[in-house]
Chains A and B, each alone.
Chain A
């Protein structure tokens, strides 16, 4: 039966194809000249070049973190190309102008880039390699004053806003990968929701890594002013390659008084083959700052891909009564490794945080939850609730939970619960004895396991995520 279980989860990666588009790639290697070249290619203002250079100089003094519970051969940072852009880069007025090859790629992925997507109420800012190719529904958003554009565009159109907030949540010196990103980031998304505006639609970005061996360094910045509300969706797929691809994104969220930001991710990057060859290294820094009173930031993630995931979407709860949430499903299979979790930093009074983490390990994978709940001395009445559950499929995988709790205020209340369960032979036999085969049984058990997280996803994303887990778990039972 465990053999049957294995075939079931050994479903090959469906999105493993390479799009044949000419790209403009800088030679491998990293130095100040490369950074200047990137900045020049992107026609950037001097202050941004300075931001990059100072980040780079800081990065040179840092070393890679070794504390995560992941193992991989040393990365040669000089063996990576730091910039790649689709060559046909002229501004597009409508969807008709998008490269048909690119369109076909998105169709294969099931990304609703065409008009239906827009009709469905989703504005898609498509990131292809590092440069935004097209942005839809900008006008409708503009009518209410919402800015949703590529990061490069924001640098030119809204330099004051970018300058005001860039690096305020994740300073370039924050960690090794954040520093690297700050030095070489090529593009990403920028969202600004002005005071009192409830964003009329969910904002969605599909990322796709295309050029072999081109490191990906996206930069995302979302600012919600007083009383503003936004729900942002990030979805990713990548084609199949034999060499590891480094991905080190930085996402910064800022919520002012009474603002509410919901950030959802479904990640399905190439995880390597069943021997662990190839696959994406995903070293991401995501952090939200609840700067204002009564503000709220909620992270929901469904992580199913990448060879290695190192990711801790966090909340700094600065404003009094602010709320941070983290809902996570991380699925690992074969030789995948994930070390993921969150940090909830309670600074203000009556700040509250909730952590719901569901780890699913199969094959020979290793899945670690790492979470920090920190209650500062002034966080009077702060509360945290954490629930960390692990599910093991088969007996060769591993799950770990590393909860760190630091409390510096006696009035705070911190609760942590953890469970580990296993889809074992006897559970599957119980289903079988009622006529239900192993594939359906696993799918039903997994769906039950992740329910508390999936209910947090926006409707259309929940469907996509459900399909994704199904894809990881489908296959013939032999």
Chain B
């Protein structure tokens, strides 16, 4: 449901960004209010991942113009870790592997760091173990993943579940899920979508970057945007996704041109 009266979580105005000197984002306007679900679709290479990484604060991406206001503050002035502590979350399209670092240890450090920054209690290893196992149940994850190295040797689907587990632990106010559905089988998709829905409330919001309607069958978007050439070239309701699935992107690209 659209929430015209609820507070604005994220407000992006005229955002331009480049990487390695190449301009990728060419003027993005994007507003997310608490309680909303947005979907961003668009052809490969159109800039969807770049947009989410710029917002998350990846140091390789340079913002050349525009602004991003998050919960009333200047998002772009914050370091990546400060954005995470403030409640911005990115589920990576390609989560990186960290051999040698136990997942449990990593998850606990992330959890305690974010909790600490929010003035909340941290958990010791035993308390955390109980806590994280509960969250894993929600995602039907085997606790064995706690003892393995972060994402190392995980299948594509396992990595994605581990991302959503982190979302469940960190309880962000705004979560960007970058192609979290890619690589998930039907059952996993249902479980992950269910997990995301459980975390939703009227104070947070979700942005789904996806190519597929099937995810949107589980998590109904209030807005569907089409990214092309580093711009959001079309915005509509949930029916736009169905239309895209049926007709592809050509007609929009022609319209936009």
Report the minimal beta-carbon distance from A228 to chain B, rounded to whole angstroms: 36
Assembled-state Cα–Cα distance A427/B80 (Å)? 13
Among A1, A432, A444, the residue within 8 A (CB) of B84 is A432
Closest to A3 in B: B59
Q: How many residues of A contact B (CB 8 A)?
A: 21
Known: A444-B106, A448-B98, A448-B100. A425 touches B84 (CB 8 A): no
A426: B residues at CB distance < 8 A:
96
B166 interfacial contact with A, CB 8 Å: yes
Interface pair B110/A425, CB less than 8 Å apart:
no
> B57, B99, B114 — which one has the most chain A CB atoms within 10 A of its CB?
B99
Interface pair B101/A445, CB less than 8 Å apart:
yes
Assembled-state Cα–Cα distance A363/B161 (Å)? 36
Interface pair B85/A435, CB less than 8 Å apart:
yes
Interface pair A435/B81, CB less than 8 Å apart:
yes
Assembled-state Cα–Cα distance A447/B84 (Å)? 23
Q: Which of B93-132 contact A (CB under 8 A)?
A: 95-96, 98-102, 105-106, 109-110, 113-114, 117
A25 interfacial contact with B, CB 8 Å: no
Interface pair A433/B56, CB less than 8 Å apart:
yes
Known: A444-B105, A448-B149. A436 touches B99 (CB 8 A): no
Q: Which of A428-473 contact B (CB under 8 A)?
A: 429-437, 440, 444-445, 447-449, 451
Interface pair A444/B101, CB less than 8 Å apart:
yes
B90 interfacial contact with A, CB 8 Å: yes
Interface pair A432/B57, CB less than 8 Å apart:
yes
Q: Which of B182-208 contact A (CB under 8 A)?
A: none
Interface pair B59/A430, CB less than 8 Å apart:
no
Among A425, A427, A435, A437, the residue within 8 A (CB) of B98 is A427
Interface pair B117/A448, CB less than 8 Å apart:
no
A430: B residues at CB distance < 8 A:
92, 95-96, 98
B110: A residues at CB distance < 8 A:
431, 434-436
A447: B residues at CB distance < 8 A:
101
Interface pair A429/B99, CB less than 8 Å apart:
no
Report the minimal beta-carbon distance from A449 to chain B, rounded to whole angstroms: 5
Report the minimal beta-carbon distance from A223 to chain B, rounded to whole angstroms: 37
B224 interfacial contact with A, CB 8 Å: no
Interface pair B99/A421, CB less than 8 Å apart:
yes
B85: A residues at CB distance < 8 A:
435
- Chain A interface, DSSP helix/strand/loop, else mixed: helix
B245 interfacial contact with A, CB 8 Å: no
B114: A residues at CB distance < 8 A:
434-435
Closest to A1 in B: B59
Closest to B105 in A: A444
Known: A432-B57, A433-B56. A445 touches B96 (CB 8 A): no
Interface pair B95/A434, CB less than 8 Å apart:
no
A421: B residues at CB distance < 8 A:
99
Closest to A448 in B: B100
Interface pair B84/A434, CB less than 8 Å apart:
yes
B170: A residues at CB distance < 8 A:
434-435
Assembled-state Cα–Cα distance A444/B98 (Å)? 10
Q: Which of B38-61 contact A (CB under 8 A)?
A: 53, 56-60
Interface pair A445/B84, CB less than 8 Å apart:
no
Closest to B106 in A: A444
B74 interfacial contact with A, CB 8 Å: no
Interface pair B117/A425, CB less than 8 Å apart:
no
Assembled-state Cα–Cα distance A434/B166 (Å)? 8
A449: B residues at CB distance < 8 A:
100
Known: A427-B96, A445-B98, A448-B102. A435 touches B59 (CB 8 A): no
B60: A residues at CB distance < 8 A:
425
Closest to A446 in B: B100
B98: A residues at CB distance < 8 A:
427, 430, 445, 448
Closest to A391 in B: B100
B79 interfacial contact with A, CB 8 Å: yes
Interface pair B100/A433, CB less than 8 Å apart:
no
Assembled-state Cα–Cα distance A437/B117 (Å)? 12
What mask results when residues 146 to 158 of chain B are scored 1 for a CB within 8 Å of chain A, else 0?
0001000000000
Closest to A450 in B: B100
A435: B residues at CB distance < 8 A:
81, 84-85, 110, 113-114, 117, 170
Report the minimal beta-carbon distance from A426 to chain B, rounded to whole angstroms: 5
Assembled-state Cα–Cα distance A248/B92 (Å)? 51
Assembled-state Cα–Cα distance A435/B79 (Å)? 10
Assembled-state Cα–Cα distance A425/B95 (Å)? 13
Report the minimal beta-carbon distance from B18 to chain A, rounded to whole angstroms: 16
Assembled-state Cα–Cα distance A448/B109 (Å)? 14
Interface pair B106/A433, CB less than 8 Å apart:
no
Assembled-state Cα–Cα distance A433/B80 (Å)? 6
Interface pair B102/A432, CB less than 8 Å apart:
no
19 contacts between A and B (CB under 8 A): A425-B59, A427-B98, A429-B56, A429-B80, A430-B95, A431-B81, A431-B106, A432-B81, A432-B84, A433-B80, A433-B84, A435-B113, A435-B170, A436-B109, A437-B79, A440-B113, A444-B105, A445-B98, A448-B101
* Extra contacts besides A436-B81, A440-B109, A451-B100 (11): CB < 8 Å: A1-B59, A429-B59, A429-B80, A431-B106, A431-B110, A433-B89, A434-B166, A435-B113, A437-B81, A440-B113, A448-B99
**Chain B positions near chain A (C-beta within 8 angstroms):** 53, 56-60, 79-81, 83-85, 89-90, 92, 95-96, 98-102, 105-106, 109-110, 113-114, 117, 149, 166, 170
Nearest 10 CB-CB pairs, A to B?
A448-B100, A432-B80, A434-B110, A448-B101, A435-B84, A435-B113, A435-B114, A432-B81, A1-B59, A435-B85
